[in-house]
Chain A
Amino acid sequence: MTGALTVRNGLAAQPALATVARYGIWVAVAALFVMLPQVFRSGTALTMMSLMGISIVFALSYNILLGQTGLLSFGHAVYFGLGAYFAVHGMNAAIAGGLPLPVPAIPFVGGLGGLAFAIAFGWVSTKHSGTAFAMISLGLAELVGSSALILRSFFGGEEGVTTDRTRLLRLFGVGFGQQIEVYYLIAAWCLVCMFLMYRFTRTPLGRMCNAVRDNAERAQFVGYNPQVVRFLAFCVSGFFAGVAGGLAAIHFEIANSAYFSAAQSGNVLLATFIGGSGYFFGPVIGAALVSYLQVMLSDITEIWQLYFGLLFIAMVMFAPQGIAGLLMMHRPLWHGRGLPKVAATYAIVLPPALIMLTGVALVIEMSYRLAVKAAEGPRMSFFTVPLAADHPLAWLSAGVLTIGGYVLFRLTWPIITAAWADAALRKGQVR
């Protein structure tokens, strides 16, 4: 369901408007990518935005499987990692042989690497769907992950394979010595890949991916072999994952076995799911958010992965459609002017929710301090507030924050439900 960007036939009567609606969004995204470094100038910000660009391509490629074809893969990092290795070897070969291969073309090399292995592994794994497919993907990830440590000539063992992007052929005097140049390269590839993957959802194959996802059996009776549909989707997905790996190789100038890690495969699943696999733009939001959280949370707390996990569990339980689903839920309100009213109720419920979350975080941090970091003593600071983790008062305040926040949250929540009911009534579409 990529309805968000769908241009309906109603607009076809005004071709100019349809064209604007179709391409305007891409021009806007391009403008955003160009402007971002003007606003966020720091080196950290540039690095983070580069990582976001890579994750967006990777997560969108993953969603071709998960959201569009209904294939749950636990080993998508394989194609990302192999793309990175092919890119690094491609760069090194170009340097050694003096080949006229500029850096901007390297992600394509990564994409071809991802595609080649997607063809090989996909041939086996897409004969199945559901649990069998998921298990095979897990097995293949283990296989490639352990090969990376054994086949040293290609994978470089523990330390991996390094490269130097500045020694490749220069185009227009751009040497890719500076992060800003790398950022723009990643942004350009990200934009092109986003556009291509969006267009893919509109093609006959892309549509039949949805059909196979919804009902593989019925697809057989309208002339399609679901195995072929799954295989082709897998190849397209592998290509773009390889491109993302190639971009990462350019960014880090190294490819190592960490690219294949289960954490890498897990992260792309989390990002896609948190963003919302049912919408094309869901993984874009998810990838950007997860990249941001990974960098920012790890600065604040050592156990950021725990919070990350809690966020994932919360999304699965309360918003299985992801952030994109939550956003799209508000679309009907857009026309009825119901949005400001509903948004105002969110502002009322937000403080209690934050109080509750602060309490929960305090409990977690103090427990962590006492249980895992006992050797460092009970003195710690929580959001710059110094406290002693073994003091009853600290636990008391954590309890008050958690329980008080929860009670206030439950008391204020009906305001939101009431506002929604009101908005639905106004639109006359009570279900």
Chain B
Amino acid sequence: MTAPALELCNVRKAFGTTEIIRGVSLSVTACERHAVIGPNGAGKSTLFNLISGRMKPDAGSIALKGSDITAMSPWLINRRGLSRSFQVTNIFHRMSVWENVRAGVLWSAGERYAFWRDAGSAREVGARTDRILVDFGLIDRRDAPAGILTYADQRALEIAITVAGGADVILLDEPTAGMSRAETDRAVALIRRISEGRTLMIVEHDMSVVFGLADRISVLVYGEIVASGAPAEIRNNPKVREAYLGEEAH
């Protein structure tokens, strides 16, 4: 049996005396779409920050495809095939849309820190960048500085940069936050497509998105996972209804 794409074991994280993540253990199998839901302040974004290396856990271990990545630097984790997006749009504002996506492609294409060859010389880098821009409907804006894009386009670019490197484990932090219904539908279709054959972990507030997309759902309440299972199980779990779904009826 292959190792799970992601395996968290008793992960803890405190800010000062406040423990935000209180012993989370979680296993995400390869090619699964796994949603993390929970009320505001439950620690969902912190959990993503711990997995992606943005923060170091106080205790516990995190393994990516069977190898330990606990407290590793973000770039090392990224090079091992895990890529994440951010809740607050986090792009390269002064660079063009095309350059933004290419920045996501460069390392995985083996370009690394090269300063002796032209970044445009490797054809597959440009081709892959173009393909991603077409996929995300951003090709018409390719030369625009990323900072002047509309909000929805910036959200799309955020995800485009995330998947550009071809990582096989993708973490999306509230990809549809602040989007209209139509924009959300488009985003969901896009996420479904890009997560084809990859492992997806997603934090999302919109329950229609969560239940439409996820193979499995984990419910995080005050830094602990109170339930984990298929959407139908979660929907009918009384503990979840009480802690979460009841409060935010969507």
In the complex, whether A398 has a CB less than 8 A from a CB of chain B is no
In the complex, whether A204 has a CB less than 8 A from a CB of chain B is yes
Question: Would you call B90 and A207 a contact (CB within 8 A)?
Answer: no
Q: Mark B47-85, 1 if CB is under 8 A from A, else 0.
A: 000001110000000000000000001110011000110
CB under 8 Å from chain A, chain B span 71-121: 73-75, 78-79, 83-84, 86, 90-96, 99, 102-104, 106-108, 111-120
Question: Would you call B78 and A202 a contact (CB within 8 A)?
Answer: no
In the complex, whether B164 has a CB less than 8 A from a CB of chain A is yes
Question: Would you call B165 and A223 a contact (CB within 8 A)?
Answer: yes
In the complex, whether B233 has a CB less than 8 A from a CB of chain A is no
Interface of B is mostly: loop
In the complex, whether A44 has a CB less than 8 A from a CB of chain B is no
Which of the four size classes fits the interface of chain B? 35 or more
Which residue on A lies nearest to B161, using beta carbons?
Answer: A222
CB under 8 Å from chain A, chain B span 107-143: 107-108, 111-120, 126, 143
Among A205, A222, A225, the residue within 8 A (CB) of B73 is A225
Question: Would you call A221 and B115 a contact (CB within 8 A)?
Answer: no
In the complex, whether A158 has a CB less than 8 A from a CB of chain B is no
Provide the residues of chain A in CB contact with B119, threshold 8 Å.
Answer: 202-204, 206-207
A236 to B: closest C-beta gap in Å: 7
Question: Would you call B78 and A203 a contact (CB within 8 A)?
Answer: no
Interface of A is mostly: helix
B242 to A: closest C-beta gap in Å: 36
Q: A207-B99, A207-B102, A211-B95 are in contact. Are A221 and B118 (CB under 8 A)?
A: no
Q: A1-B94, A214-B94, A225-B75 are in contact. Are A219 and B114 (CB under 8 A)?
A: no
Which residue on A lies nearest to B162, using beta carbons?
Answer: A221
Which residue on B lies nearest to A223, using beta carbons?
Answer: B107
Q: A204-B106, A204-B115, A225-B75 are in contact. Are A218 and B120 (CB under 8 A)?
A: no
Q: Mark A193-229, 1 if CB is under 8 A from B, else 0.
A: 0000001101111111011011101111111110011
Provide the residues of chain B in CB contact with A199, threshold 8 Å.
Answer: 118
Question: Would you call A218 and B115 a contact (CB within 8 A)?
Answer: no
Which residue on A lies nearest to B114, using beta carbons?
Answer: A204
Question: Would you call A215 and B93 a contact (CB within 8 A)?
Answer: yes
Question: Would you call B143 and A207 a contact (CB within 8 A)?
Answer: no
Question: Would you call A218 and B92 a contact (CB within 8 A)?
Answer: yes
A119 to B: closest C-beta gap in Å: 14
Provide the residues of chain A in CB contact with B126, threshold 8 Å.
Answer: 9
Q: How far is the CA of A222 from the CA of B113 in the complex (A)?
A: 13
Q: How far is the CA of A236 from the CA of B108 in the complex (A)?
A: 24
B178 to A: closest C-beta gap in Å: 19
Among A203, A210, A223, A232, the residue within 8 A (CB) of B95 is A210
B238 to A: closest C-beta gap in Å: 38
Q: Mark A215-255, 1 if CB is under 8 A from B, else 0.
A: 10111111111001100100010000000000000000000
A152 to B: closest C-beta gap in Å: 37
In the complex, whether A8 has a CB less than 8 A from a CB of chain B is yes
B134 to A: closest C-beta gap in Å: 14
Q: A215-B91, A223-B165 are in contact. Are A202 and B118 (CB under 8 A)?
A: yes
Provide the residues of chain A in CB contact with B92, threshold 8 Å.
Answer: 210-211, 214-215, 218
Q: How far is the CA of A221 from the CA of B102 in the complex (A)?
A: 13
Q: How far is the CA of A218 from the CA of B102 in the complex (A)?
A: 13
B21 to A: closest C-beta gap in Å: 20
Q: How far is the CA of A219 from the CA of B79 in the complex (A)?
A: 12
Which residue on B lies nearest to A209, using beta carbons?
Answer: B115
Question: Would you call B161 and A228 a contact (CB within 8 A)?
Answer: no
Question: Would you call A232 and B103 a contact (CB within 8 A)?
Answer: no
Q: How far is the CA of A199 from the CA of B119 in the complex (A)?
A: 10
Question: Would you call A222 and B120 a contact (CB within 8 A)?
Answer: no
Q: Mark A272-289, 1 if CB is under 8 A from B, else 0.
A: 000000100000000000
Question: Would you call A204 and B52 a contact (CB within 8 A)?
Answer: no
Among B74, B118, B143, the residue within 8 A (CB) of A220 is B74
Q: How far is the CA of A394 from the CA of B108 in the complex (A)?
A: 70
CB under 8 Å from chain A, chain B span 163-195: 164-165
A325 to B: closest C-beta gap in Å: 13
Q: How far is the CA of A211 from the CA of B99 in the complex (A)?
A: 9
Among A8, A205, A213, A221, the residue within 8 A (CB) of B114 is A205
Provide the residues of chain A in CB contact with B53, threshold 8 Å.
Answer: 220
Q: A222-B107, A222-B164 are in contact. Are A210 and B94 (CB under 8 A)?
A: yes
Residue from B83, B103, B108, B126 whose CB has the most chain A CB atoms within 10 Å: B103
Q: How far is the CA of A89 from the CA of B91 in the complex (A)?
A: 47
Among A8, A204, A229, the residue within 8 A (CB) of B111 is A204
Q: Which 10 A-B pairs have the closest CB atoms?
A: A223-B107, A204-B111, A214-B92, A220-B74, A205-B115, A223-B78, A211-B103, A204-B119, A204-B114, A222-B104
Beyond contacts A207-B103, A223-B75: 7 other A-B pairs, Cβ-Cβ < 8 A, are: A1-B145, A200-B115, A203-B118, A220-B74, A221-B78, A222-B78, A222-B161
A-B contact pairs, 25 of them (CB 8 A): A1-B145, A8-B143, A203-B118, A204-B112, A204-B115, A204-B117, A207-B103, A210-B92, A211-B92, A213-B94, A214-B92, A214-B95, A220-B53, A221-B78, A221-B83, A222-B103, A222-B106, A222-B107, A222-B165, A223-B107, A223-B165, A224-B113, A225-B73, A232-B115, A278-B94
